[in-house]
Structure 1
Amino acid sequence: MTSLRVAAEPRLSDEALLETVQRQTFRYFWDFADPGSGLARDRFGGNDGWLVTGGSGMGAMAIIVAAERGWITREAAVERLHLMLRFLERCDSFHGALPHFVTPEGRAIRFGRKDDGADIVETALLFQGLIAARQYFARDTGKEPWLRGRIDGLISAVEWDWFTRDGREAYYWHWSPNHGFGLNHEILGWNECLIALVLAAGAERNAIDPAVYHNGFTQSRTFLNGRRHEDILLPLGPDGGGPLFFAHYSFLGLDPRGLKDPYADYFAQNVAHIRINQAYCVRNPKNFVGYGPDCWGLTASDSHEGYSAHAPDNDLGVIAPTAAISSLPYAPDLVMPALRHFYEDLGDRIWRDYGFVDAFNETVGWYAKTHLAIDQGPIIAMIENHRSGLLWHLVMADPMVRRGLARLGFTSPHLAATV
């Protein structure tokens, strides 16, 4: 069925469709941001008072894209980022790291019984966006030098090595002022956390030893795979690949093209992951309504049963538009038909003021009324990386990122012979 709203419009070209989706989704981070801090709210449609740090890093990237494409002025972008930084400078932090969620007053929100302090992965996702801003707003006039200085101050305050738990060859996700490392959540791959290890290794002060990566992160039983799924070889990750955000979050800024280490070619890894996810949905072993070549994408999102990390081994019939759309740089031949289907055929049910709703399940007739920052952000960033490579070029030019990649043994066309 074609949306009556869309049917009355001329069919958009691919470029016009991408621009439309990016620009509408940007409104989530510009119009719906918390007015006092500029930070991204966790979601539209619930928890409106919860501000999310990692999603705010994605919001910073969205602001860069908006300035580059002329949706807002460069000066307005700088002002909004200063508003965000002013808040981040005074909100709760622990050994320099930020919580997952904070209140509009800057207080940490308890996310679990022992998760009421620092979240080093959310902090890294925040700083990935701020690093992009530090590189983009590079002029020596106006408020841009001050902007860069504030970002430097936040990043240099992080005690990255604190999260090795007294120098172990392991990295721990959380630390609490009340429970210490009681949550005991070691970061083991393959997952969304690569950016945290890269930044921690590249820090000028309090950097981690590369052994934390090689003897910790990469030693999980779900790191190396090397088996075929949907007749596609998967280098890393759990069987079936896991939720698609693994291929998105760290790679909003890390350019996977030509990025290699002793374990994988990361562009090949992410392409395999996307194609396995799409092929699984086409095969549709559970016979869910709507699945097919132009309707696929399993990742963490809201569902009719609550929030869940959807994947081939956790398939509830829920498609999240961000899963396919944010995969655009890896498989445009698979993504563009899905994007057109979401916009042209399902638009009257899933296209709203802030872009696509978070997810839908046609089998049970459920369409989310929510948008989530961590799902909206990758849509803007990864479409831009497909269109121009802007965010990849910015982040991969940063000395901290380059130093971290080199120390961990990565090679990339972005890296000079010496770093």
Structure 2
Amino acid sequence: MIKFSALFMLITFLGCDSSGSSTDNGPVVTPPVTVPPVVKLTDDELLDVVQKQTFAYFWDYAESNSGMARERYIPQDPSFDQNIVTTGGSGFGLMAIVSGMSRGYISKAQGADRLNKIANFLNTAERFHGAWPHWINGTTGRVIPFGTKDNGGDLVETSFLVAGMITVREYFKNGTTEEKAVAQKFDTLWKGVEWQWYTNNQNKLFWHWSPNYNWEMNFPLEGYNECLITYVMAAASPTHAIAPAAYHEGWARSGGIVSAKTKYNLPLILKHNGAEEFGGPLFWAHYSYLGLDPNQLTDKYANYWDLNTNHTKINYLYAVANPKNFKGYGANYWGLTASYSRNGDGSIGYDAHMPSNDKGVISPTAAISSIVYTPLESKAFIRNLYENYKTETWGVAGFYDAHSQHYQWTAQRYLAIDQGPEMVMLENYRTGLLWQLFMNAPEVKQGLINLGFHSGKYGF
């Protein structure tokens, strides 16, 4: 832009007086002022903006004492539940920090320092036969009950955390002295989980154990849902491994996990618990697969790439069909999964959105975290939200947790378990980094082999 003084000198030089008329050639015609067009971000620029902003959840808004991921963050009320940290969401956060270091959002020294703080905290936090609880007080390390009887070990949340630990270990294992020390701390922590204890002497894993209520919650891990990674971690343990029979008889229900159903001409492949017509909420295609690479991954029950891609496409096609006529649903506005939700009175609640439980609420994490399966459809969603609904949906840690065009409503808050998969799957889509680190861990490979998996991509 030409400054005013320079512009005046230029006018004088061209023979114009201050009245705007030429001394030689008549009046000067002032060119029209044109506003430069808004330059749209390229796809890669857009993904980087979203990934970097989402990373802030795990870096800028983590719990200060522990370094762990807060269960939730509400920008309008940052003190709300500020000391409640989440085990599973922190596992996703460990992977997010690895991605952040790789992309230069933070330095490796900064990442190592934060990860060392997290490892030290987890070493002193309450554990129950090696498993951490769902919620922990980030100040004291004591369990915060998730429910009356849910005041002990949470094996599923622990498995999400452990997958992150292994990823960090693999990233740091050949690094500096400080990085190797962090890797060793996480290696020791994950090897302390007593997976076999959580079979309760049966051929299946159980989600919870409480020192007060023992096995009273009685929640066996039977497929299919988000818990595949729990069996993989339990089979991979070099210290407390489960027998393969627990996977085949418990998780796979002696073959009963397999489904012959189709939707929109796409096979569901496995029986989604309680959601056998369309498949369950989309986080079932995300949580287990942040480190576990479904590309070319098979066992005798499923091709896991086909399983997750079909699940995602069915969810997408449902939104395109839009049988309930919710405003906005379509090719660039889709994605049903568990997130904050809108209660009937307009207040904020929580719900497991899916085609069989559609409340007119879209969860950005659903489409964004599915980018590895549906890149074109996911990028169309991201661009629509960012370019057309940014003022409603965009905040300090990326897209808010839930949005509804139909009700003109937004849940202006965040959850660790929703922001984490966005960050991690964007990285996996762009580079495959977290998949490569996790899948090349020797214990992971051996655990998968023990359960009868094959991966053409990783050579087993």
2-structure distance, mates of 1:327, 1:215 = 30
Equivalent residues in 2 for 1:289-368 (5 A)? 289-305=327-343, 306-368=349-411
- What amino acid is aligned across from residue 125 of structure 2 in structure 1? C
Which runs of 5 or more residues in structure 1 are unaligned?
1-6
The superposition leaves residues 31-83 of structure 1 with CA deviations (integer Å, 9 ceiling, x where unpaired) of 00011110000011243221001100111111111110111101110000000
Give the one of 165, 171, 187 matched to 2:221. 187
Seen in structure 2, the aligned counterparts of structure 1 residues 222 and 346 have a Cα distance that, compared at 3 Å, is: farther
Contact 1:227 1:234 in 2 (8 A): yes
2:431 aligned residue: 388
1:247 aligned residue: 285
1-structure distance, mates of 2:457, 2:123 = 31
1-structure distance, mates of 2:420, 2:378 = 17
2:346 aligned residue: none
1-structure distance, mates of 2:439, 2:450 = 14
2-structure distance, mates of 1:173, 1:200 = 12
Aligned residues: 410
- C-alpha deviation, 1:244, in angstroms: 0.2
Between the aligned residues of both structures, percent identity stands at: 46
Contact 2:363 2:402 in 1 (8 A): yes
CA RMSD of aligned residues (A): 1.4
The reply on whether 1:128 has 2:170 as its aligned counterpart is no
1-structure distance, mates of 2:203, 2:258 = 18
2:177 aligned residue: 142
Contact 1:325 1:383 in 2 (8 A): yes
Residues 262-271 or 213-222, more deviating? 213-222
Give the one of 53, 56, 59 matched to 2:87. 53
TM-score (norm 1): 0.95
3-state DSSP of counterpart to 1:225 = coil
2-structure distance, mates of 1:220, 1:307 = 33
2-structure distance, mates of 1:182, 1:333 = 45
Structure with larger Rg: 2
2-structure distance, mates of 1:164, 1:212 = 8
Contact 2:165 2:187 in 1 (8 A): no
Which structure carries more relative contact order (alpha carbon 8 Å, separation 6+)? 1
The superposition leaves residues 251-295 of structure 1 with CA deviations (integer Å, 9 ceiling, x where unpaired) of 000010000000000000000000000000111111111111100
Give the one of 324, 333, 341 matched to 1:286. 324
Give the one of 23, 26, 32 matched to 2:52. 23
2:67 aligned residue: 38
Give the one of 156, 180, 184 matched to 2:191. 156
Seen in structure 2, the aligned counterparts of structure 1 residues 141 and 135 have a Cα distance that, compared at 3 Å, is: same
3-state DSSP of counterpart to 1:296 = coil
Contact 2:136 2:143 in 1 (8 A): yes
Give the one of 136, 141, 146 matched to 1:102. 136
Seen in structure 2, the aligned counterparts of structure 1 residues 190 and 222 have a Cα distance that, compared at 3 Å, is: farther
- What amino acid is aligned across from residue 71 of structure 2 in structure 1? D
- C-alpha deviation, 1:9, in angstroms: 4.5
Equivalent residues in 2 for 1:145-294 (5 A)? 145-166=180-201, 168-219=202-253, 223-236=257-270, 237=272, 238-294=276-332
Which runs of 5 or more residues in structure 2 are unaligned?
1-35, 75-79, 344-348
